[in-house]
Amino acid sequence: MRAFVFPGQGSQKVGMGAELADNSAIARATFEEVDDALSQNLSTIMRDGPEGELTLTENAQPAIMANAIATLRVLESEFGVSLTDAGDCVAGHSLGEYTALCAVGAFSLAETALLLKLRGQAMQEAVPVGEGAMCALLGADLEKAEELARAAAEGQVCEIANDNDPSQVVLSGHAAAIERAVALVKDHGIKRGIPLPVSAPFHCSLMQPAADRMAEALSDTPPQELALPLYANVTAAATDDPREEQDLLVQQVTGRVRWRESVLAMRAAGVEHFVELGGKVLGPMIGRIDKDAQATSAITMEDLEALAKEIG
């Protein structure tokens, strides 16, 4: 069995998608479609920057999605590999869940771009700049991270945002609580705590205003039928029910990204090969979660050509 997976925020970089666009009319058309949907030259920001503009949450989220869908469309159109024929399920890390839904036909490309633009804006506006923060814990399992979060909270929000792999957990919450968490890592047997360069505390209860806005947006643009099952971030379980997925996308804004558990659930279901499109972030994580899992990451034409041969 094979899963197609899609990266989340942090995988953006200036120049993303340029090589695909230079070599593929399909990729260029994909980026133009997103530009038209957003009434914005997002593809220019992706190609040329400035980096600060691309890193803005409201730009980074649709940009990462556009790059991944362009990669998928090139794979399908130019290398003859159909996601629905070659894959058995899909998943995405945080915003990547929207990309996965686009890939299986639950949202159109234009709908996905608009939803992610709004999601980025809503998450940015939910908490005043400087009041929230996030940190990555290296050498931390879930139990140690939970103990640290409880100790650092002191009446404020300090919650697990991402359970990425056995060696990396991310905390999110009030800035002062996250500072305390970083200072306390050694006391909890954790190797390092690294403050993350993010503009808002994603995936914690402080994001409730953003969840409310997404609930409204998703009621106007609900997901349609999924061509393949999707493993959702907040449950680490498969669903092919659009109504259930609509609710899970709302929960996802404040909920934990259970990526480690999602990969283990896909492995338990029989997935042997994970294909990451549009990034090279999830592949290494998957390798740390299960060293026996096969993971391939593709972002260039050369990568896609090799992937097509690998899939056969």
Q: Which residues are catalytic?
A: 94, 203
Find the helix or strand (DSSP H, E) in which 91 lies.
strand 89-92
CA atoms within 13 A on the CB side of 20: 33
Could you say which DSSP state residue 213 is in? H
Longest dimension (CA), the chain: 55
Residue 25, token pair as written in the block: 């009319």
Residue with tokens 């980025």: 120
Nearest to 304 by CA among 26, 33, 43, 101: 26
What's the CA gap between 291 and 282, in Å, rounded? Answer: 13
Q: Which residues contact 260 (CB under 8 A, 6 or more apart)?
A: 142, 163, 164, 165, 166, 289
